[in-house]
Amino acid sequence: MPTEHSPDSPALHPGTPVGVIGAGAMGAGIAQLAAQAGHPVWLFDMQAGAAERAVARIGDDLAGAVHRGKLTDAERDAVLARLAPAAALSDLSACGLLVEAIVERLEPKQALFKDLEALVAPHAVLATNTSSISITAVAQALQHPGRVVGWHFFNPATRMKLVEIIPGLRTNPALLAPLRALSKAWGKVPVAAPNAPGFIVNRVARPYYAEALRLASEGLASFATLDRLMREAGGFALGPFELMDLIGNDVNLAVTESVFQATAFDSRYAPSLLQQERVRAGLLGRKSGQGFHDYRPEAVAAAA
Ligand code: NAI
């Protein structure tokens, strides 16, 4: 059995069993991508029932694709047959590629990677979908930190083409080419990103949120006005508040806090009270029904 992550490592070949940990928006999307690319996939979440709900959401998404003529019934059935919710982390022990998409905090990620290292084969690759946390730090507590790599997808993972590949200081460089090839096999456009706070995309995007939050908190423009301006005049796919609501205000705030801390509290990245208060109130965005905007069916109907 190989212990090196050479380009011939079986860990990153299509068909390798994939374990995804965290069945939220990103974990579900990554699990779907992997199953669509032909991998058997185990999806685990610490919250009972979350993996099953994610698999049901994937089923709905695939049913939509069948309805639009993008997928046949047989293809949908084949993708779903490759996807299984895991009752315990140990169900992932035979996976050659593990992708972590849990909460955006260092300590739980480090603890999970320690558990994974004890569970999986030596050649298995441990990828983290973190948006902002140092890959070196995620791998810090491991005996073999070389097997850890940043593999950062964007939301929604099934549709966004870009994926950042981020080596930590101890990441085995031999992992990078196979991971790039696998990303392409999954239909993605991989880019190499440095292991700096927020990598590339989240670093560049911080001012988009921060300045919009500043303008709104100074009472200079409403969320709706700023969103409409950036979408209709700025050419952005989503305005800043719509985008934060899509990402999840809890996730977006965690990324801001992580970048703020990692840049020695550079004031440009200081969290906004407007967002902090929303997170405290459970107004997390689309996933909770309310964020900067109101997505509850009655509000959507009233606005129509
Ligand atoms: P989410 O909050 O929707 O889902 C996270 C899931 O992980 C939850 O179901 C939770 O129960 C589970 N979880 C938490 N701790 C766990 C643990 N120790 N073991 C197993 N399951 C655990 O979060 P989301 O949006 O899916 O983000 C997940 C990760 O992906 C974060 O690191 C985030 O920064 C990153 N990310 C998020 C993006 C976004 O737009 N939301 C985009 C790209 C990356």
> Do 182 and 156 share a domain, yes or no?
yes
Count of domains forming the chain: 2
Ligand 1, pocket residues at CB < 6 Å: 21-27, 45-47, 50, 101-104, 108, 112, 129-131, 152-155, 247-248, 251, 255
Question: Are 79 and 150 within one domain?
Answer: yes
Same-domain pairing of 32 and 163: yes
Centre of ligand 1 to C-alpha 100, Å, is 8
Residues 238 and 145 in one domain: no
Residue 3: the pLDDT is: 43
Q: Assess whether 155 carries a catalytic annotation.
A: no
Considering the entire predicted model, what is its pTM? Answer: 0.95
Instruction: Indicate whether 219 and 153 sit together in one domain.
Output: no
Q: Are residues 184 and 258 in the same domain?
A: no
Q: Are 11 and 96 in contact (CB under 8 A)?
A: yes
Q: Which of 159, 192, 225 is the last residue of a domain?
A: 192
Task: Confirm whether 302 is domain-assigned.
Answer: no
Please name the residue ranges forming H helices in the chain: 25-36, 50-67, 73-81, 106-119, 135-138, 176-185, 201-217, 223-228, 240-247, 249-262, 273-280, 297-303
Mean predicted lDDT score pLDDT of the chain: 95
The ipTM (two decimal places) reads 0.99
Q: How far is the CA of 132 from the centre of ligand 1 (A)?
A: 13
pLDDT tens digits for 214-227?
A: 999 999 999 999 99
Of 146, 163, 192, the residue at which a domain comes to its end is: 192
Confirm whether 129 is domain-assigned.
yes
Residue 297 lies in a domain: no
Quick one: average pLDDT of 192-210?
A: 96
| Ligand 1 centroid – CA 102 distance (Å) | 4
**Hey, which residues does 189 pair with through a beta bridge?**
162
Mutate to test the pocket of ligand 1, among 90, 98, 131, 164 (most ligand atoms within 8 A of CB): 131
The per-residue pLDDT for 4 is 47
> What is the arithmetic mean of pLDDT over 23-47?
97
Q: Within this chain, do residues 160 and 246 fall inside the same structural domain, yes or no?
A: no
- The predicted model gives 241-247 an average pLDDT of 98
Flag whether 221 is in a domain. Answer: yes
Domain housing 280: 202-291
User: Which region among 1-15, 217-231, 239-253 has the lowest average model confidence (pLDDT)?
Assistant: 1-15
Task: Establish whether 123 is a catalytic residue.
Answer: no
